Structure formats: C-alpha cells, structure tokens
Amino acid sequence: MINKGMRWLIRRALERFTKLRIYDYEQILGLSKGYSIGEFKIKRSSWLRDKTLEELRLDKEGVIVLAIYRKVGEKEKFIGAPDRSIKILGGDTLICYGPEEAIKNLSRRLKGRAGDEEHREAVRNEETRKEREKIEINQMEEEIRRIFSKIHPQKGR
C-alpha cells in the first residue's frame, strides 16, 4: 500500500517538475526480479572506506554505484554517475543498483581480511549468476529456433 502511494507521489512529482517521460522503472530495472536500488552510509569500519571505485571493483560483484551524497562543510553534495577515480569517504551515502543480496552484504562489509574474502566470494557468486543467466538465455534461444523451424520448416533449415 505504501509502495503504491510512494510510486504515485513520485510519478506525479516527476510529471509536474520535470520534462522526463515516466517509465515503469520497476520493470526496466528488474526490481521485482531480485535487483534493487539501495542506499547506505559509509561507516568508519566499512570495507569501502578510503578506496576508489576502481579499487573496489564493485562491478565484478554486479553492483553499480549510481550516486554518492557527500557532506562538504555544511552542505551535502550530490555526485551522480561517479567516476571510477572517486574515493569513497567515511560519512558518504552511496546509492547502488544490483542484486539485492549483494547490496545488503556490501552495506555491512567490514574492512580487513574478512572484507576482502567477502568481496572475493561476492565476485564468485556474480560469476556463477552470470553463467546461469547465459545458460538460460541459450536455452530460450534454442527453444525459439525450434518453434520457428516448426512454423516455417523451409526457413529453419
């Protein structure tokens, strides 16, 4: 109920205050298929702290950093689509997109050896997920070819 209300409110605000087209972002981003947009603050003990996005290689975990909110003096600065050279600082708030579990785990990951091992495990999990996805796509393509050859026997040869 709240989710529907928030979607309606956001949609109305976007229609009124921007010239953006309204799309079904839940469907486009696969939010109902295990993907999520998450927001979390970088703590002093975070594995992400004081590393660049390039060093972190979050893309290998299937996670994309969409934006960073950073306190600069008294103001909060928004850094959209941050460059790989940007360093994550304590107190930053990250907006990430990726598999829901990966984002949850990332938000809790502590620095040190344990955090490094969690990263390696997350990379392995993402590689496995991509392999499964590839197999599913190949199976779907094969099924489409099979159906097409039944419908159009001459073209399927």
Domain boundaries for CATH 3.30.70.1450 within the chain: 34-151
Q: Which residues, given as ranges, of the chain have pLDDT below 50?
A: none
Q: Is the dihedral of CA 71, 55, 95, 41 positive or negative?
A: negative
Query: What's the pLDDT score for residue 59?
Result: 97
Query: What's the pLDDT score for residue 4?
Result: 64
Query: What's the pLDDT score for residue 123?
Result: 98
Query: What's the pLDDT score for residue 85?
Result: 98
Query: What's the pLDDT score for residue 50?
Result: 98
Query: What's the pLDDT score for residue 148?
Result: 84
- CATH of region 34-151, choose from 3.30.70.1450, 3.30.365.10, 3.20.20.70, 3.40.190.290: 3.30.70.1450
Query: What's the pLDDT score for residue 151?
Result: 85
